[in-house]
């Protein structure tokens, strides 16, 4: 089962991990996240692997948290569950992770790409934090990491409106480091991973951690705050309405409660 949700391809010294829940656009259910974390932890321990590529498919990286699952989540669960520990486990992976993003990269999917170390985007990539359309806010670091990557103005624009950024915009704003032809979405990320894998594993670990420290600063406090705020948003009637409306395929009616 887990093998199906996440495909692992070893091509030492790199490994490729592909999210594989195509019918739900790689929505990040607990099962998918569990499989992803165990794959990454295993590859982090594997001596012959020096760099990891994380991708979805040409059509979609990931369309976010599983909204059906989120609709069943209580605010208390959202603030305390194993789900938060999984995101932290991904942050703690010592080896460099290159995100290969093609197609939709939304909500928790965008947060997943941003927790990786480098993002290679295909021309068809679309980045967004559309939680606001559901009466929610990002809940896995999006308000903090997107703001640090692109600055306040663009982050506010994207997070408050729910609009998507094109690959070119993402490049201009500094969210991604390269944009490649759609058909090269995985090959270019692998090429970069192979270049990285030639370097000293010790230096790679140290460099990754050092850049993350520069980048994070008080991010932890920010993410703590975001967790509380996410749980509050999830407890609102508007969020129930937003998620029900999505699942029932109708426009939401938000009432501010």
Sheet holding 6-11, edge to edge: 6-11, 14-19, 51-55, 97-101, 118-122, 178-180
Query: Quick one: tokens of 69?
Result: 């699952």
111 is catalytic: yes
CB nearer to ligand HXC: pick between 196 and 219: 219
**Closest Cα to residue 171, out of 107, 120, 212?**
120
Nearest to 109 by CA among 67, 77, 152: 67
**Are residues 176 and 120 in contact, defined by beta-carbon separation less than 8 angstroms?**
yes
Catalytic pick among 65, 149, 167, 193: 65
Tell me the residue number closest to ligand HXC, measured at CB.
107
In the complex, what is the shortest distance from the CB of residue 230 to ligand HXC, in angstroms, rounded to a whole number?
7
Select 27 or 176, whichever has its Cβ closest to ligand HXC.
27
Nearer to ligand HXC, 15 or 33 (CB): 33
Does the active-site annotation cover 62?
Answer: no
Catalytic hit among 64, 108, 109, 142: 108
Catalytic-labelled residue, pool 103, 125, 128, 131: 131
167 part of the active site: no
Question: Which residue is catalytic, options 111, 125, 233, 242?
Answer: 111
DSSP 48: T
Residue 131 CB, nearest approach to ligand HXC (Å): 5
Of the two residues 96 and 128, which places its CB atom closer to ligand HXC in the complex? 128
CB 73 within 8 A of CB 234: yes
Interface with ligand HXC by CB under 6 A: which residues? 24-25, 27, 63-68, 70, 83, 104, 106-108, 130-131, 133-134, 136, 139-140
Task: Check if 65 is active-site.
Answer: yes
Residue 82 CB, nearest approach to ligand HXC (Å) = 12
Residue 30 CA to residue 65 CA, distance in Å, equals 9
Give the CA radius of gyration of the chain: 17
Question: What is the distance between the alpha carbons of residues 208 and 78, in angstroms, rounded to a whole number?
Answer: 29
Distance from the Cα of residue 3 to its chain's centroid: 20
Rounded Cα–Cα distance for residues 90 and 38 (Å):
10
Q: Give the shortest CB-127-to-ligand HXC separation in angstroms.
A: 12
Question: Which of 96/139 has CB closer to ligand HXC?
Answer: 139
Positions marked catalytic: 65, 108, 111, 131
């Amino acid at each position: 089962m887990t093998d199906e949700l996440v495909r692992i391809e070893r091509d030492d010294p790199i490994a490729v991990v592909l999210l594989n829940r195509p019918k739900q656009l790689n929505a990040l259910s607990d099962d998918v996240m569990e499989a992803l974390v165990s794959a990454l932890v295993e590859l982090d321990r594997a001596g012959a692997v020096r760099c990891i590529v994380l991708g979805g498919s040409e059509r979609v990286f990931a369309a976010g948290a599983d909204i059906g699952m989120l609709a069943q989540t209580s605010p208390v669960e959202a603030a305390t569950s194993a789900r938060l520990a999984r995101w932290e486990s991904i942050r703690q992976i010592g080896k460099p992770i290159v995100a290969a993003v093609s197609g939709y990269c939304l909500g928790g999917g965008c947060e997943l790409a941003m927790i990786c170390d480098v993002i290679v985007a295909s021309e068809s990539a679309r980045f967004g934090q559309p939680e606001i359309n559901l009466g929610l806010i990002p809940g896995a670091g999006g308000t903090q990491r997107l703001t640090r990557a692109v600055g306040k103005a663009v982050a506010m624009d994207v997070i408050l409106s729910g609009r998507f950024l094109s690959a070119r915009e993402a490049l201009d704003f500094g969210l991604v480091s390269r944009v490649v032809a759609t058909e090269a979405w995985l090959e270019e990320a692998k090429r970069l991973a192979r270049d990285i894998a030639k370097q000293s594993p010790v230096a790679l670990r140290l460099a990754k951690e050092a850049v993350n420290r520069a980048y994070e600063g008080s991010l932890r406090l920010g993410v703590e705050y975001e967790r509380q705020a996410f749980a509050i948003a999830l407890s609102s009637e508007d969020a129930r309405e937003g998620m029900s409306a999505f699942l029932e395929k109708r426009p939401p009616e938000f009432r501010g409660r």
